Amino acid sequence: MNIFVTSFGSTRRVAFAAAACLALAPMPSQAAAKIQHLISPGGIEAWFVQDATVPLIAMEYAFGGGATQDPADKPGVGNMVASLLDEGSEDLDSKTFHERLERRAIELSFSSTRDYFRGSLRMLKDSKDEAFDLLRKAVTSPRFESADVERIRAQINSGLRRETSNPSSLASRKFLQLAFGDHPYGRQANGTLESVPRIDTADMRDYVRRVLAKDTLRIAVVGDVDPATLGQLLDKTFGGLPARASLTPVAEVEAAKPPQRAFIPLDVPQTVVTFGGPGIKRNDPNFMAGYVVNHILGGGGLSSRLYREVREKRGLAYSVNESLLWMNRSAIFIGTTGTRADRAGETVDAVEKEIRRIAEEGPTQQELDEAKSYLKGSQMLALDSSSKLASALLQYQLDKLPIDYIEKRNAIVDAVTLDDAKKAASRLWGQGLLTVIVGRAPQAAAQPASVTAPKAN
């Protein structure tokens, strides 16, 4: 057996509560962890950290595709597949499949994000053979039994109906439509009340056939297993998948240029405001400068400029946040807050004023130093469990970062200068905002361009 390993020093559904607790077990020292590049005998690659502190194995994995591979007229196919893969496979019906998960304290889940079909597997060391075999069955031989399909469809439809009266859901949906129009990123990843009833088993089997393939598979594993054993498990689990995916190409797209504003009337006690605009892609050389200055504006929680201006100084909202969101074919920044209807206009004005100020002036040197210090110090806290580390290692792969990125990250943060931060602030926020307001007619707000309240679809 040939296992190829290179090492780099580097700083749906819970089956059983014990597995979830162990998934949060602290790692002894992420700063001393060795991230290995493992290649199984069958050619399956993974980033891997071997750790025997607790008898647990955590694995995160992803296939390229996600919701962008849903048919244009049937958004939500990937979401339906993700909800049904653990509802029985091969000779196991849904009840038997879940009984085996629960009996061995195995946690297995799937999700369809914008660009990826993702999965998560956690188990006790002694349950690894059965856990990986159940995952193999799920991804290679899903049953999609009619009764299970209709039960899951009903659950998804129930959630979609609730979203029609949820201001945050309506604001998020409208914002993506405003930003991306007819591009796949503008569609609703979990489907609509119109599309979900029309998704059939053939759609789901076609999605599995096209998307779940070895060439786009990325894997991260952390836990108590040796490289040779892990290589065997990966081959048994994923070796039977098609060699190559058949993905529909997705075009590059830039979010719509601000300023634009939309208003959705909804009779709710609190008005929700979602705002944003074009962002910075993860592979852009200026990404880290944007990331640091974004922390100063809206990503730093109680210390952010938006929080101080909107919450502390004016008492307009309980919370306000803003973050960068990057995808394979685009990037945006997006923020949200909630306020009383009669103060919605004042809230939007305060957000716009603060964003305009940082775009024109940039941050201060003190703000930059404090943000860099926080971002460097918080990294290890964000990687303090096997599950968190596995998730981070998977994301680094999806972002096409080097395997020693954990070691390099603090130096990259440190390299951001005040001039870099000012340029990034101007680039991100100099054009203004795409703004969506959902709530009662805001008497005190500057009148936005109204849009008709969305119909249940």
Q: Could you tell me which residue, 257 or 456, shows the higher pLDDT?
A: 257
pLDDT at 5: 46
Neighbours of 350 (CB within 10 A): 22
Over 70: is that where the pLDDT of 256 sits? yes
Residue the block writes with tokens 């601000």: 258
Return mean pLDDT, the chain: 90
Closest CA relative to residue 295, chosen from 321, 258, 257: 321
The predicted structure's pLDDT at residue 35: 95
Does residue 139 have a pLDDT over 70? yes
In this prediction, residues 380-400 reach a mean pLDDT of 91
**Residue 449 reports pLDDT greater than 50:** no
Cβ-proximal residues to 386 (8 Å cutoff; 6+ apart), any chain: 23, 25, 27, 51, 54, 56, 57, 58, 222, 223
The reply to whether 4-238 and 260-439 are identical in fold is yes
Task: List, for residues 7-33, the tens digit of each pLDDT value.
Answer: 433 333 333 334 444 444 454 444 446
Nearest to 307 by CA among 361, 315, 373: 315
CATH 2.40.30.30 fits 260-439, yes or no: no
More confident residue, 174 or 442: 174
How many percent of the chain have pLDDT more than 90?
82
Show the tokens assigned to 120: 């998560």
Band of the pLDDT at 83, cuts 50, 70, 90? very high
| pLDDT band at residue 1 using 50, 70 and 90 as cut-offs | very low
Give the pLDDT band (50/70/90) at residue 145: very high
**Gap between the Cα atoms of 37 and 46, Å rounded:** 6
Of residues 289, 283, 324, 293, the one with CA closest to residue 415: 289
**CATH code, 4-238:** 3.30.830.10
| CA–CA gap between residue 123 and residue 132 (Å, rounded) | 9
Is 443 exposed, middle or buried, given 0-12, 13-18 or 19+ CB atoms closer than 10 A? exposed
For residue 444, the model assigns a pLDDT of 38
Tell me the pLDDT tens digit for each residue of 103-138.
999 999 999 999 999 999 999 999 999 999 999 999
Place of tokens 């910075």: 280
* Helix (H), strand (E) at residue 33: strand 33-39
Tell me the pLDDT tens digit for each residue of 392-436: 999 999 999 999 999 999 999 999 999 999 999 999 999 999 999
The pTM score is 0.88
Average pLDDT over residues 58-72: 97
Asked which of 136-140, 175-179, 268-272, 365-369 is least confident by mean pLDDT, the reply is 268-272
Q: How far is CA 445 from CA 181, 339, 437, in A?
A: 26, 12, 10
**Count of other CB atoms within 10 angstroms of residue 310:** 25
Distances (CA, A) of 430 to 170, 289, 356, 456: 26, 15, 7, 36
Distance CA 354, CA 356 (A): 5
Residue 441: what pLDDT? 77
pLDDT at 33 (0 to 100): 67
- pLDDT for the residue 7: 40
| Domain boundaries, given as residue ranges, for the chain | 4-238, 260-439
- Residue 452's pLDDT is 40
